Chain A
């Protein structure tokens, strides 16, 4: 049996190797270097704040582009990767998490951030949310929750409150909305936090905690859609007469039941880390399996490992 021999692909301009650069010789990235396209969001959109706080996180923590992958699905907020100057992918609707999982498992050297909206996370991608949480993948998922479908211009979303008037519920939404915090806790997420775009300091704190968490870190960040659901989050904003109640100091973040109760508070609810526990990540568990099997074939080249199988099939 002869194999198809393919010619080497052409080399294209710019692909010459660059000189190595020692970490010590590098400055942390500045906002100017991390920002790419000007966002296509409507003026006043909450997503601007989330983006600039992602830049802040990168700046503050001294991350470089080769340490990060920014991934999203489809939706207004999912345009995120285009606005970040770094390796990124804009995947299909609802599937950002399994895509991000592939990146995370294949490349333990990267920190993977997935961004998306409530439709992406809890409607079309609802199944993936639960399974990524229970498998405890080492990645951060930020859902920019605006309680409405924005990109398609005002249909009911899975987090739209009862009575919300949209183009698909002109008399007001009738379906019980999803509570993202409860969903995440019940699914087995190991880091569950809630914040809102109008409190930048809080967003950054939560982002940092999420980055530092070993495992699936889920952040719901309320992010107002000024076009289709203006004022949705006024109740969370003290400047607009609302209340920004942080998670009580005496809350035990390892207490699942307490976290679930906290998540059940009426809107506007609480902000901060609801739940945080340590459980082996999928990445660690798979690496553990590999370690065990690789010990048995130590010193063998891949063809020699395969040889063992083929010899048994003679």
Chain B
């Protein structure tokens, strides 16, 4: 339904119109306690089971209970790259939901509203089609008097299912799966609410829609949010110990690991503070168990000193940073990509850091495994920079072949003849660790330390040793850089404009490329997953374009570049690298990117 709906209309049995569509963007607006996220979750899961692509976007208030919240879901039979700029349908539960979000609809879009709480406004009648349904009272009627309007989300789900001719049996199945553990009455009410919504006749007021047949995907899909994918990726990678402290939006990951790790004989420990959690995770890593910690913005600041120690002592560790709006406490539930600098440089001294960033939900799963493997091979902390936009959105992706992917690394306690933890003779400085509990025949045991040290880990203030050890720690990362694949350009390898981004900007950038190329513009995009060290080959890619615009959800800084922009500038000293930045706390709209590119090009010409 990317353009005004109603291309291939036909009369349905009920006398209303049925339109064939290839995708739809539905925005559900209510309060955070209305369960609108579960409507979105059901729709996303259904899409995944129907071989459709799906992407969601949500906002939650940072207050504990209540406050306006939205969930946007885009479902399509083609490739879905972003959550969609504008909505086709708005489902509004309250007056504020209606008034604040009606303009997110495309012209001619449909607003379904709860007429028990919302009054139509004259000024919007011309541009949008209004359908009022007494959702609250119908829900009470369907479920019974005592339920109040709890369950109206499920009623609304039924309405949506009817409107878009969704598979009601599959949806009822999903509802049953979700609620069956909560007792018969809860499930019975949920199904009653759903069927009431599905059965409600809106046929006379406006048409219903039907998706084009999905192209048969020959694989099964799983549907989950980015934080879930990341947490499961850590488990798949072999992480068996974790420690953390609650902070939004990282907490989901620690909760999941706390719940799941015991099945694998591992533990996740909630600590007294951020520093304790990184220290504990490093301790477990030192002891030979694959270990992780994580946080969001402020917590990463607190962990910095210990991360410098892990870099110095060469201890493997995976650190997740689910970025949020900064600086300081910032905007805890908003989107920002402003922790790249602290991830790359955030510790005193020369302490180069490995930083990777997943570019969508599926990538969260795989990058977590990569992070484990890099940490283990190079004996370094690896920072995984994800952001609120990926963390909370739900996507469907190909079900991974877990049997070939899942790793397990119990501590290796095989006695060795001799061991130098910081052996300078090893190529590229990539030494092997021997963990506590290992007998060393020579009787010489290693010390892990933050002091500059000799090859055994004992303190050394020798200038020569300091320079050699500094080079060892640097050379490891240079060796890693040589192992990293050059990222692939989306679109042609040469042209006028190259958009460069990282993390959650990948989808909107690609959609912007598709849209602009369809109009004849010469534009491509590049998503960088390995932020530090950078892979080789980027220079050659940049050489193929006249303009390189780095699209980031962070501030343009003192010199006009965002954080990745600054890193690329300092690495390639290429004046054609420019920044396209914003800090409104929201995901990039495709339109926004294209407008900003136009502005930049116009400014260059002027």
Interface residues of A (CB under 8 A from B): 1, 3-4, 6-7, 9-21, 33, 36-37, 64-69, 71, 81-82, 85-92, 95, 97-107, 109-110, 127-128, 130-131, 286, 289-290, 292-294, 296-297, 301-307, 309-310, 312-314
Contacts and interface: CB of A to CB of B under 8 A. Distances in A.
Nearest to A79: B459
B427 A10 contact: yes
A203 to B, nearest CB: 24
A166 B118 CA distance: 71
What is the predominant secondary structure among interface residues of chain B facing chain A?
Answer: mixed
A306 B232 contact: yes
Contact of B436 (A110, A302, A314): A110
B429 to A, nearest CB: 10
Contact of A106 (B177, B224, B284): B284
B483 interface: yes
6 contacts: A4-B484, A17-B416, A106-B411, A107-B411, A109-B437, A293-B262
B417 A14 contact: yes
B272 A131 contact: yes
Contacts of A309: 232, 260
B395 to A, nearest CB: 11
Contact of B275 (A14, A98, A292, A314): A98
A36 B405 CA distance: 43
A103 B267 CA distance: 12
A7 B448 CA distance: 25
B471 interface: no
Contacts of A307: 402
B437 A110 contact: yes
B466 interface: no
B235 interface: yes
Interface stretch (B19-27, B99-107, B201-209, B305-313): B305-313
Interface residues of B, number: 103
Top 4 nearest A-B pairs by Cβ distance? A102-B283, A14-B418, A303-B406, A87-B436
B241 interface: yes
Nearest to A40: B459
A298 to B, nearest CB: 10
Interface stretch (B7-15, B90-98, B150-158, B286-294): B286-294
A13 B288 CA distance: 21
B444 A13 contact: no
Contacts of B420: 12, 14
B342 interface: no
A126 to B, nearest CB: 11
- Of A3, A71, A87, the most chain B CB neighbours within 10 A belong to A87
B124 interface: no
Contacts of B419: 14-15
A103 B283 contact: yes
Given A89-B449, A290-B265, A12 B286 contact: no
A305 B406 CA distance: 10
Given A89-B449, A105-B269, A9 B222 contact: no
A79 B46 CA distance: 60
B441 A92 contact: no
Given A15-B419, A21-B439, A306-B406, 14 more contacts: A9-B432, A13-B423, A13-B425, A17-B416, A18-B416, A18-B417, A21-B415, A81-B447, A87-B435, A89-B448, A92-B306, A289-B267, A293-B263, A310-B402
A314 B223 contact: yes
Nearest to A69: B436
A99 B279 contact: yes
B286 to A, nearest CB: 6
B229 to A, nearest CB: 10
Contact of A102 (B282, B411, B485): B282
B458 A98 contact: no
B263 A103 contact: no
B280 A102 contact: yes
Contact of B287 (A20, A110, A286, A312): A110
Contact of B366 (A1, A15, A105): A1
B399 interface: yes
B223 A92 contact: no
A89 B366 contact: no
Contact of A100 (B283, B440, B484): B283
Given A12-B432, A69-B287, A107-B289, A95 B279 contact: yes
B289 to A, nearest CB: 4
B257 interface: no
Interface stretch (B127-135, B367-375, B491-499, B571-579): B367-375
Contacts of B439: 18, 21, 64-66
Given A18-B416, A99-B279, A103-B287, A306 B377 contact: no
Contacts of B399: 310, 314
Contacts of B275: 95, 98
Interface in B321-376: 362-363, 365-366, 369-370, 373-374
A95 B306 contact: yes
A297 B414 CA distance: 28
B272 A103 contact: no
B262 A98 contact: no
Contacts of B48: 314
- Of A33, A65, A105, the most chain B CB neighbours within 10 A belong to A105
Given A66-B439, A101-B280, A106 B288 contact: yes
Interface in B203-260: 220-224, 228, 232, 235-236, 241, 243, 260
A233 to B, nearest CB: 28
B415 A102 contact: no
Given A12-B431, A103-B283, A90 B262 contact: no
Contacts of A127: 272-273, 276
A105 B222 contact: no
A89 B313 contact: yes
Contacts of A92: 279, 305-306, 309, 450
A286 B243 CA distance: 13
Contacts of A13: 418, 423, 425
B224 A102 contact: no
B426 interface: yes
B483 A6 contact: yes
Contacts of A103: 283-284, 286-287, 436
Contacts of B430: 9-10
